[in-house]
Amino acid sequence: MKSFPTSLLTEHRRSDVRDSGAIRVGVARQIPHSRRTTMSRLFDGYDLSGLSLRNRVVMAPMTRSRAANGVADSETALYYRQRAGAGLIVTEGSQISVEGRGYLLTPGIHTPEQVEGWAKVTRAVHEEGGRIFIQLWHVGRISHTTLQTNAESPVSSVDRPAVGSTARAYDAAGSPATVHVSRPRALTTFEISRVVKDFVRAATNAIAAGFDGVEIHGANGYLLEQFLNGALNTRVDRYGGVRIENRLRFVLETIDAVADAIGAAKTGLRLSPFGRIHDMQAYAGEEETWLTLAAQLAARKLAYVHLNDQHPFGPPALSANFLRKWRDVYPGTIVLAGGFDLHKGDQMISSGVADLIAFGRPFISNPDLVQRLANGLALAPIDRSNFYGGGPKGYTDYPVFDHSTST
Ligand SMILES: Cc1cc2nc3c(=O)[nH]c(=O)nc-3n(C[C@H](O)[C@H](O)[C@H](O)COP(=O)(O)O)c2cc1C
């Protein structure tokens, strides 16, 4: 069993080191300037609309597909406890309804059992002094009839299926399988307010489960972006078409309803401007759409807006010019994600275009990522084979940095 040497330049204390069976789980308190090996601003504390974060490192939302029956459990709690050294954790996407699910084994936040499961997670993270938001997810057309009630079609802005996208659902024999997404049907105008209510119910459930706030998933080609995207959303009602304000309406109504229910200071939003994942195509007026949304969000005093730059997954990187324009219209907290390391993250904060930096994949294999970054320690490599599904392997069995084997 490993223990932390006293020379480690973080605020580990004996009481912060918990025995979790196979490995030792360590959680850092805020790291004072005098005891860091790097002076990066990433390790400064941050006031997130009244919620104090002990550093500016966010754990990005990451689906891990290990929730049997869609319920977070004690293994989920251990996984997030191990990573509570982040200034803020954003959980994996959690469906707000049966309709909103696109993958087997993802957790939900719409039943009492799911709320109970998540309460174990929030307790664990709070015991370590961490902060945690839950990502509220409706996949829209990235789903399959076998996941839907009565094998109905998934829903979207229009009835066009996402080309090249898959869902994790059931095959014709009823076995779990990766399958092409089904053709969706367009939500009626009337139904949209029902989906907004599903988001609100999920948000109030999240607060009941002890979360510090929620992040509405408006990114990566899922339902809300299926309405924002001008190439896809050709509706002719007040929720779509060429007029930007119509395509923004659903996401803004969702934000406003959730903020009304739980408070704007507890409500965040994730977006992926110019993202191409899940068949989101380019369209005329794309930048104007995003900047109009930024201006609309500016007035709403949200906890944060989280911009996910998809460049690690293929699309071109967000330009410095676009990030500057976003900052010019959006004065609130900006979280940036997508391919960051310490140096790049620090640059973004110093240049003023971001306040917090989210790390995704590095957090999977480095539960003590903040301590490693703060002390210039080597990072454990990423093992993609365990990203989705399975048990503790590649999930809760990554150790904290082992000083006894380093030179
Ligand atoms: C295994 C995995 C699962 C992910 N699941 C989600 C998710 O549930 N919600 C979401 O918004 N983004 C998701 N993402 C995207 C990450 O939040 C993040 O934006 C992306 O990995 C880029 O950051 P990185 O380069 O630091 O990994 C996922 C990424 C990975 C690798």
pLDDT score, position 404: 81
pLDDT score, position 40: 87
Maximum CA extent, the chain: 65
CA of 195 to the centre of ligand 1 (A): 24
Strands 88-95 and 51-53: unpaired
**Tokens 């307010």, located at residue:** 193
**Other Cβ atoms closer than 10 A to 278:** 24
Question: Ligand 1: which residue has its CA nearest to atom 22?
Answer: 338
CA of 128 to the centre of ligand 1 (A): 24
Return the closest-CA partner of residue 214 out of 133, 271, 125, 334. 133
Q: Please choose from 62, 64, 65 the residue to mutate so as to test ligand 1's pocket, defined by most ligand atoms within 8 A of CB.
A: 62
Return the closest-CA partner of residue 216 out of 194, 247, 195, 240. 195
Domain boundaries defined on the chain: 14-405
Length of the chain: 407
CA of 391 to the centre of ligand 1 (A): 19
The 3-state DSSP class for residue 5 equals coil
**Which atom of ligand 1 lies closest to the CA of 361?**
27
**Tokens 């309709």, located at residue:** 99
Whether residue 324 contacts residue 350, with contact meaning beta carbons closer than 8 Å, is answered with no
Query: Euclidean distance between the first and final Cα of the chain, in Å?
Result: 19
**Other Cβ atoms closer than 10 A to 371:** 24
Return the closest-CA partner of residue 94 out of 84, 86, 105, 85. 105
Phi and psi for 83 in degrees, rounded to 5? -105, 15
CA of 292 to the centre of ligand 1 (A): 25
pLDDT score, position 199: 99
CA of 219 to the centre of ligand 1 (A): 11
pLDDT score, position 33: 52
pLDDT score, position 22: 33
Q: Please choose from 361, 366, 379 the residue to mutate so as to test ligand 1's pocket, defined by most ligand atoms within 8 A of CB.
A: 361
pLDDT score, position 174: 97
pLDDT tens over the chain, length 407 residues = 222 222 222 222 222 333 333 344 444 445 555 555 567 899 999 999 999 999 999 999 999 999 999 999 999 999 999 999 999 999 999 999 999 999 999 999 999 999 999 999 999 999 999 999 999 999 999 999 999 999 999 999 999 999 999 999 999 999 999 999 999 999 999 999 999 999 999 999 999 999 999 999 999 999 999 999 999 999 999 999 999 999 999 999 999 999 999 999 999 999 999 999 999 999 999 999 999 999 999 999 999 999 999 999 999 999 999 999 999 999 999 999 999 999 999 999 999 999 999 999 999 999 999 999 999 999 999 999 999 999 999 999 999 998 887 65
How many CA atoms lie within 13 Å of 363's alpha carbon, on the beta-carbon side?
31
**Which atom of ligand 1 lies closest to the CA of 388?**
1
Q: CA-CA distances (angstroms) from residue 398 to 13, 127, 135?
A: 20, 20, 23
Topology of the domain covering 14-405: TIM Barrel (3.20.20)
Structure-block tokens of residue 402: 């082992």
Whether residue 166 contacts residue 198, with contact meaning beta carbons closer than 8 Å, is answered with no
Catalytic residues: 222
Contacts of residue 243, Cβ cutoff 8 Å, sequence gap at least 6: none
Contacts of residue 118, Cβ cutoff 8 Å, sequence gap at least 6: 72, 91, 94, 107, 109, 134, 206, 209, 210, 211
Question: Ligand 1: which residue has its CA nearest to atom 21?
Answer: 360
CA of 92 to the centre of ligand 1 (A): 8
Question: Ligand 1: which residue has its CA nearest to atom 31?
Answer: 361
**Which atom of ligand 1 lies closest to the CA of 310?**
22
CA of 12 to the centre of ligand 1 (A): 28
Pocket of ligand 1 (CB under 6 A): 60-63, 92-93, 135, 217, 219-220, 270, 308, 312, 337-340, 359-362, 387
Structure-block tokens of residue 28: 């850092």
Question: Ligand 1: which residue has its CA nearest to atom 18?
Answer: 360
- CA 288 to chain CA mean position, Å: 25
For the purposes of burial, counting CB atoms within 10 Å of the CB of 257, is it exposed (0-12), middle (13-18) or buried (19 or more)? middle
CA-to-CA distance for 308 and 270, rounded, in angstroms? 7
Angle at 299 between CA 293 and CA 305, to 5 degrees: 55
Question: Ligand 1: which residue has its CA nearest to atom 2?
Answer: 62
- CA 61 to chain CA mean position, Å: 3
CA-to-CA distance for 229 and 224, rounded, in angstroms? 9
**Which atom of ligand 1 lies closest to the CA of 358?**
26
Question: Ligand 1: which residue has its CA nearest to atom 14?
Answer: 62
pLDDT score, position 395: 98
Question: Ligand 1: which residue has its CA nearest to atom 11?
Answer: 61
**Which atom of ligand 1 lies closest to the CA of 339?**
25
